[in-house]
Every structure is written in C-alpha cells, then in structure tokens.
Amino acid sequence: MRFFAFASLAASLLPFAHAGLSVDLGGHGGASVSIGHRRSPPRQSIADLYVASESPVAKAGLLANIGPDGSKSSGAKAGIVIASPSTVNPDYLYTWVRDSSLVFKVLIDQYTSGQDASVAARDLIDAFVSAEAILQQLPNPSGTVDAGGLGEPKFNINETAFTDSWGRPQRDGPALRATAIISYANWLIDHGNSSWVTKTLWPIIKLDLDYVSVNWNQSTYDLWEEVDSSSFFTTAVQHRALREGAALASSIGQSSVVSGYDDQADNLLCFMQSYWNPSEGYMTANTGGGRSGKDANTVITSIRTFDPAAGCDASTFQPCSDKALSNLKVYVDSFRSIYNINAGWQANAPVAVGRYPEDIYYDGNPWYLTTFAVAEQLYDALIVWKAQGSLTVSATSLAFFRQFQSGVQPGTYSASTPTYGTLVEAVASFADGFLTKNAEYTPAGGALSEQYNKTTGAQTSAADLTWSYAAALTAFAARGGFASPSWGAKGLKVPSVCKANPVPTVAVTFNLTGATTNSGEGVYITGSVDALKIWSTTDPVPLKLAGNTTWSVTVGIPASTIVQYKYLKLDNGTVTWESDPNNQITTPAGGNLTINDTWR
C-alpha cells in the first residue's frame, strides 16, 4: 500500500509525537514543537502537511459524489448525495437522509461563511433543497409524508423509494436535514431574502420539525442502523433542530409553532441527561443493543451540536464540557487494546478508533470519520477555551486532563497560568495525533474509504465514502478555528421534571382465527412497537378467546405509524411462531382500527 509523500516524515516523527511532542496553538501552519521543556525551531507538523494535502482531495471527493455532475455519481439526480460509489461488498450506491444532511451542512457552512462563495456552491445547495423536498413527499416503506414516511433512512439515487428490508425508522434524518436547511435559511434572512425562506424553505423545514416534535420519544434505529431503541445522537440532534427551528419560526412570523417546539425541546434536553453513566464517566449511546454503550455516536453528537456561545455546558454536551471530555477518554481508551495497529503506543497516545469496541462489521476496524471526530471535538474545545481565556478541570474531567499533566487538580485555570498553557498545548498535540493516525493510513492520492484494517492499515469496506470526506473537512476547519454560528444552546436550563411526548394513539383490535391450541397453551402477539412489547417472547401481549374460534385483543398503538407484528403460541416457555413473513399495518391518524387475521 502506498502512502502520502510525507509518510516517511511521519514515521520518523511519530515516536516523538507520542512521547510528548506538543504543538503551539499559534496558527498551526508554522507551529513550534516542544519535547519536554526544550523548544525546537518552528516547522510544519505532520498534521499541517496532512491538512494541506488532504483538504483539496476531500473537497473534490465529496463533490464527486453529488449528482448530477459528480464524476462518481452517475445516475444520481441533482442535489442527491451518494454514500459511496461502491456497488458490491458493500453496496452503498444509495442516498441516506442522514449522510446527505451532514454533507450539505458542511457545504452550507462553507458557503455562508465565505469559504466557498461560488455560484456553483449556491446552485448545489439549492439543488439539495429541491431534492430533499421531493424525497419528503415520496411514499416509502416507512409510510407517507403525513404518516411516518419522514423516518425512512435511504432512497435510490434516482429519487425513487428503496423497498427492500432495512432498519426502519431512523429518526435522526429529519432533524439533521432541518438543521442544514435552517443554516441556509438564517443566512438568506440576514441577506434580505426572508420571503424565499418563508415560501420555499419553511414548508420543508416544518415537515421535519413537526415529525421530530411528535415522534422524538419513539424508538429508532441508531446512526449505525443496528440498534432499535433510544439513541443519544438522535435525541441530541432532535433537541438542536427544535431549538433552532423555534427561533427561525419566530423570525419569519410563524409564531404558532414556537411554544410547541420549545416545549418538546425542553423534554428532549431533560431526556438527554438520562444517557449519562456517572459511575464510569461516559454517555451510554443507546438504551438497547446489549453492548457497553461506548460508541462514536457520542463523540459525533458533541461535534454536531457544538455551539461556541454555550461555553463548556454539560447539559448540551458541549465539546469542552467535563462530561464530553470524560466520555471522550473512555471511548478512545476502549480501542487501545483491540486493534493491532494501536499496539505499542503509550497509554495516553492518540490511536485509531472505530464505531464501538464490540463492532464486527467487516470484522470491526477503525473508521476515518470516527478518528476525525475525536480530533474535531478537541479542536472545538480549544476554540472555546481560547475565547473565554480559561479552562476548568472538574472531578468528572480529571482523568482526561491527567493524561497530560499527572498532578493537575480540579479548578479553573486562566490563560495567564502555566497550567492552562501546558494543558492547551498538550490537548492541541493530542488532537493533531488523531489526524496523524488517519494520515498514516491514507494512501497516495488521498482517497478515503469507510474503514482501514485494524491489523494492516489497508483500506476496506466502501471506497470514497462521502461522510469520510465531510468528516475530514469539518475536522480541518475546526483545527483552523472555524465554528458554525450559535444555535441557541447558551443558558438553557434542564427542566426539573422530564415529560414524555403524549403521542396520539389508535385503538387497534387484532382478531385471529385458525389458531388451535393444546391444553395450557396461550396465544399472543408481539411486534415492532412498545405497545406490542418489541418482539418479546417472554412478555408478549396475550389474546383472549372471544367465542369459540376467534382470539382477540385491543391495543393502543401510536397513530400514523407502520407496525410489523406476528402471532405466537406459548406453552411453559416453548415458543411456536406463525409462519413468515411478518404482518404489517399502517395505523391511521385517529379513530379505531380492526384487523382480522388467520393463523399461518
């Protein structure tokens, strides 16, 4: 495998970098380095070289994957983001609402900040908005626009529905799409185009925000599309979307929705706190899944909900908050011993990281985007510490900071103190180390796949992953001191009482005939929603015999929801399922529903 031309330089400097090399914050471009207390002349670091070389490659790689003119997105409609041009092992030639929204948030930030103010960039953003408006209205296996369809995670790149089996619904997509388009809307308002925002953008945004407001406390597949439960990432991005959505609504005279969005945002903020694992110092990524909960989900949450005006607020999990820093250390440490390419480094060295330590997808490897995310959280923290002129070490974040200064004590350290200078330099060097780790396994030419092998470092899984390129660009921007505008996280208070969203329900009566039973055997139903016990065989919903041949039960199920279910018989723990496939219904928006089934 061939690497960048600076790989030999990287190899010669890495032993020093991980033994205590640190980089000044002064611009990074000509940073000075220090080993111990000796300072060498200014020179470019490995991270500097990587940023300079990879930045244009990442931007070009991202644009190549956007239709209709991207060189690797043949067949994609205008504004459609392909996840990857890979069509086999794995087939990623689809468009995901999540990935597309994250990618276009990068492009919108570049355009609105003046980093790329080209006409082509503006045209691409407008094409994205138009494409997403089409996808919103497209009936799909999750439902229609008014009945669950906005939770559909992926579509074909020609703007048709993907109808095969998948992990549905995924409720982060509408929130992320709303955030991306709201960023564009705010810029347009600032530049005197509020009428177009109200007429064109607001109807798209409102559909997503209304979906979030109604469905935020329903189960969802996580951003890795594997666990169906509540997800910290989803909860946090939903919270952000409703906050900034309420502010936008107020600014364009749509005041009727503001209080509703704010109320549900309060509930989400309250619910966010429940993911914290205080005894072990990390955010549990998902409420289900049977794993440790140590997951890149949480680090990506911190950078996707970064608000530079919020300081180091822990309730919104800001990058420099004590909880986010403690969580980062626990997450990174979980990968130190499971990847061969991390062997031999010191216990506080930057390492390659993946999605979660129990991962088996493609045998479980480091991902470029997760390793970039660690660096980005640290760069975001540095932005805030420099702006406020101090940093705080708490009992919660103490273990994180003691990686860099073993004797540091809890307290607040101003920029004039040696402790502040030492810690800030060390964190900057630490962050650069994660970029350096990705640089080690970036081949000549700079193409970024999804993963690199945990033993050899060779790229694996999907080639030219669009999200990998986007993650590189946001990490590089944060290293340069860029932060997106505030979204309203400053000064928020966690409600003293958490309230569940009162989702409207429909009374669904399930009638079943043809289910003959033996003595002691009962008939039950279970399915994909909480009311049907989420496919439980130990606590399913019992049916009662109504008459001689019909078994029946009435259950309150969320309205406007696609539900899969199946009948089963239980006899002293022995389970007998009816034959495949699963049954499926879509509940109406209100009223009652009666289903008449026959045992298969």
Residue 223 backbone phi and psi in degrees, to 5 = -70, -15
Residue where the block lists tokens 């185009």: 193
Q: How far apart are CA 321 and CA 506, in angstroms?
A: 42
Q: Which helix (H) or strand (E) holds 551?
A: strand 550-558
**Active-site annotation holds for 578:** no
- CB of 341 closer than 8 Å to CB of 366: yes
Q: Establish whether 367 is an annotated binding residue.
A: no
Angle at 96 between CA 69 and CA 305, to 5 degrees: 110
Task: Say whether the peptide bond before residue 504 is cis (omega within 30 degrees of 0).
Answer: no
Which amino acid is located at 13 in the chain?
L
- CB of 506 closer than 8 Å to CB of 590: yes
Q: How far apart are CA 332 and CA 353, in angstroms?
A: 7
Cβ neighbours, 10 Å, residue 511 = 16
- Quick one: CA torsion of 319, 423, 395, 414, rounded to 10 degrees? -90
Whose CA is closest to 86, among 448, 355, 427? 448
Name the token pair of 585. 């219904």
- Quick one: CA torsion of 147, 152, 155, 159, rounded to 10 degrees? 30
Q: How far apart are CA 418 and CA 390, in angstroms?
A: 11
Q: How far apart are CA 29 and CA 31, in angstroms?
A: 6
Catalytic residue among 132, 222, 380, 440: 222
End-to-end CA distance of the chain: 55
Q: How many CA atoms lie within 13 A of 58 on its CB side?
A: 25
- CB of 81 closer than 8 Å to CB of 465: no
Q: How far apart are CA 272 and CA 266, in angstroms?
A: 10
**Active-site annotation holds for 99:** no
Residues 438-473 as b/e (b if ≥16 CB within 10 A, e otherwise) read bbbbbbeebbbbbbbbbeebebbbbbbbbbbbbbbb
Q: Which residues contact 529 (CB under 8 A, 6 or more apart)?
A: 218, 219, 557, 558, 561, 563
Q: How far apart are CA 575 and CA 461, in angstroms?
A: 38
Which amino acid is located at 171 in the chain?
R
Q: What does DSSP assign to residue 277?
A: E
Residues placed in the known binding site: 166
Q: Would you name the residues annotated as active-site residues?
A: 222, 225
Residues tagged in the binding site annotation for substrate: 166
